[in-house]
Amino acid sequence: MAVFTEVPAEEASRLLAALRLGELVELRGIQGGIENTNYFVTSQQDGQRRDWVLTLFERLTHEQLPFYLHLMKHLALRGIPVPDPQSDGDGDILHTVCGKPAALVDRLRGASELAPGAGHCAAVGDMLARMHLAARDYARQQPNLRGLAWWNQTVPVVLPHVDAAQAALLRSELAFQNHVAESAAYAALPRGPIHADLFRDNVMFEQGEAGPVLTGFFDFYFAGVDTWLFDIAVCLNDWCVHLPTGAHVPERARAFLQAYAARRPLSWAERRLLPAMARAGALRFWVSRLWDLHLPRQAALLQPHDPAHFERVLRQRVACPLTACIP
Ligand SMILES: Nc1ncnc2c1ncn2[C@@H]1O[C@H](COP(=O)(O)OP(=O)(O)O)[C@@H](O)[C@H]1O
Ligand SMILES: N[C@@H](CCOP(=O)(O)O)C(=O)O
């Protein structure tokens, strides 16, 4: 369960009062999630009930959080369905609850779709492109803290925990990614704020009359400024993959990419580097999962994700480069 810090009802009531959101009706710890303490909160004001999510940040600091929270606010103001951080009387959206940095955001409707079809992938591709375009004028800067610099720093830390074949693959892939990052095509990739962790469990859908409707993206706490192509690669590696084998599912990848490109056509550099970036996306999560498993931090990761899955995805991306699905 992801409640690392118990929040008493009085603390939640105090926050609702500071945010002028009325009385506390319900406070319920959320099972799931691996990084932060999350609660569902229901408030009532003038007879009207509203649902929120209260997050206490266990890892991120008061200095890092404004980038994520203001990005969500920026996107929400531009009509992208993301949780909107609520501000207090001074206009602040970063609060303190139980001595931890905290935010209260609106609760998205629906549920995650853990067995997506082509229609779900198309909806995610379309919304991802809209999100990239809407974030173009976001002024705050913070790099992707799980980008190339972090892989270079972390691969040596995890190497003692893997076997010889895995170590060879980690070393060779890291060398390949450093080489790609020095290329002219890489320098030409369009960039901006990206989500960087848009897995199936970070998107909500609800059932509409004509089929599933995407109700929002959430969990922006790995966001940063990086190439838009990296965000695309992260999505392809999760939404468009056969989970037991890590194999690419062409029908879903085509649906995702066509919907994305219909909003924002891919540049020549993006088409050229998609296969390499798909490998980068797999390396990123293989390394972070190895790090989380072998070097667990306090108050985090009660259930580390399986690193072997992203080792399989990476091996698949190296053996069968993603080219056929590029629109
Ligand atoms: N804004 C939101 N609206 C609806 N549900 C949410 C929202 N934020 C979080 N949740 C729920 O809380 C769970 C854990 O949140 P998540 O952000 O993944 O936690 P963590 O950052 O600890 O991994 C999600 O799987 C989802 O069910
Ligand atoms: N998506 C990452 C882990 C990040 O966890 P989240 O619950 O904050 O999305 C992975 O699968 O390794």
CA–CA dist 228, 319 (Å, integer): 24
pLDDT digits (tens, 9 = 90+) for 199-240: 999 999 999 998 899 999 999 999 999 999 999 999 999 999
Q: Does residue 2 have its Cβ closer than 6 Å to ligand 1? A: yes
Give me the CATH topology for the region 118-319. Answer: Aminoglycoside 3'-phosphotransferase; Chain: A, domain 2 (3.90.1200)
pLDDT at 267 over 70: yes
Going from N- to C-terminal start, the domains of the chain cover: 9-106, 118-319
Residue whose CA lies nearest to ligand 2 atom number 11 = 305
If one residue of 4, 30, 34 were mutated to test the ligand 2 pocket, choosing by the most ligand atoms within 8 A of its CB, it would be 34
The ipTM of this complex is: 0.94
| Distances, alpha carbon 16 to alpha carbons 2, 55, 193, 208, in Å | 22, 13, 30, 32
> Which amino acid, one-letter code, is at 65?
L
Written in H, E and C, the secondary structure of 58-87 is CCCCCCCHHHHHHHHHHHHHCCCCCCCECC
232: Cβ–Cβ under 8 A, 6 or more apart, which residues? 128, 257, 260, 270, 274, 277
Q: Does residue 289 have its Cβ closer than 6 Å to ligand 2? A: yes
- Domain 9-106 part of CATH 3.20.19.10: no
Q: Does residue 107 have its Cβ closer than 6 Å to ligand 1? A: yes
CA–CA dist 187, 231 (Å, integer): 16
What pTM value is reported for the model?
Answer: 0.95
pLDDT at 79 over 50: yes
What angle, 0 to 180 degrees and rounded to 10, lies between the N-to-C axes of helices 118-134 and 250-263?
30
Binned at pLDDT 50, 70 and 90, residue 3 comes out as: confident
Q: Does residue 5 have its Cβ closer than 6 Å to ligand 1? A: no
* CA 58–ligand 1 middle distance (angstroms): 14
* Tokens 């580390």, located at residue: 304
CA atoms within 13 A on the CB side of 218: 26
Residue whose CA lies nearest to ligand 2 atom number 7 = 33
Binned at pLDDT 50, 70 and 90, residue 129 comes out as: very high
Q: What is the mean pLDDT of residues 279-302?
A: 84
Return the DSSP state at 140: -
> Which atom of ligand 2 has the smallest separation from the CA of 238?
11
